[in-house]
Amino acid sequence: MSGVAETAERAARASYGRLVALLAAASGDLVLAEDALAAAFEQALTTWPRSGVPGNPEGWLLTVARNRQRDVFRSAAHRRAAPLDEAAEVAVSPLDEIDPDAVPDRRLALLLVCAHPAIDPAVRTPLMLQVVLGVDAARIARAFALPPATMAQRLVRAKRRIRDARIPFAVPARADLAGRLPAVLEAVYGCYALGGPDDPDLVGEARYLAVTLAALLETEPEAWGLAALVTLASARAAGRDDRRYLPLDRQDPRSWDAALIAEGESYLRRAGPGPAGRFRLEAAVQAVHCDRARTGVTDWTALRTLYRALLLVAPSLGARTALAGVVGRLDGAQAGLAELDPLAAAPAASGFQPYWAVRAHLLAAAGRPAEAADAYARAATLADDGQVRAYLLERRAALPSG
């Protein structure tokens, strides 16, 4: 029994998005595709223990879901819901051409649908989590700190829009694909950024999405860069202490996951040489940090070069703040503060926790404890994470009085 459940679970994990992509492609109806697939999984759990796990579980699920979908199309309820008949019947037929023994992978088309320009950017990441990975709405709502009903409604609305406006389940030609990819990468990155240290499961989902996307695109450097970035960042998640926050430079590299580091580095190599985009540069930053596991030291000079390049390709408050921290290490606290000063006027900086944390750190190193104390307090107020807040207040308390 547990063997069957395990097989079903594995099939679910590996096949969910693949099957949804196939089931929804013809009609564009993700809700119906997901319902049909859920019913197929349910049937698997009652049938497989009796009759044994089929040789090709994925093909079995596809056939059952497809039949189920056809029943729904034919049912009176669906006819009443649809303005007028027939069209739906036709829409499902292309599925018949698919050989259940050789299930093709159309997840790239599905990812492109999720990040289509006609879909609200705020719902792209949740949509991917749900239709590609099968994460349920309540879980996604938790990650986004939204009431489950709100998230469920947004997802349903987006899916209805995909069906009704007929957003195509298709991979555009290379030239058009280039224009569409940044949104897809951004949505996958959004999943990673959302996970963060608080939610390692979500980072795991982001890693799966990023690696899947890179593999589907085969030769897209930025996609491999993103896969490397998320994988290398996940490798260090193991080094976290559950009880307290440890900044990166105080983590023990022996606690990092060596296999994941090797995997991430292999993705970065697959991204190849040539001018690097944002995700490859961010991945390279991660790789430099991970390299401490081998060399015992952090190559701050390399980090400075990478952050400078990152600021050219994709300027952001985060990269500028990080550069200031690196410059502070290399050239002293004054130089680091000089990098930060131009940001002081930026309205976004006043509410950006890392800005205040780095500033506090540099002020402390520059022998300005009173100002450092203020900056630490400000950073602590802005910190979402209790452990980060505790760490910042600890640092504040450790300042020399003066």
Write out the residues near another protein by the rule CB under 8 A: 82-87, 90-91, 116-118, 164-168, 170, 172
CB of 82 to another protein, least distance (A): 7
CA 311 from centre of chain: 22
CB nearer another protein, residue 164 or residue 394: 164
CB of 110 to another protein, least distance (A): 15
CB nearer another protein, residue 184 or residue 202: 184
CB nearer another protein, residue 83 or residue 274: 83
CB of 121 to another protein, least distance (A): 16
CB nearer another protein, residue 82 or residue 138: 82
CB of 107 to another protein, least distance (A): 18
CB nearer another protein, residue 85 or residue 241: 85
CB nearer another protein, residue 168 or residue 315: 168
CB of 402 to another protein, least distance (A): 60
CB of 77 to another protein, least distance (A): 17
CB nearer another protein, residue 80 or residue 254: 80
CB of 83 to another protein, least distance (A): 5
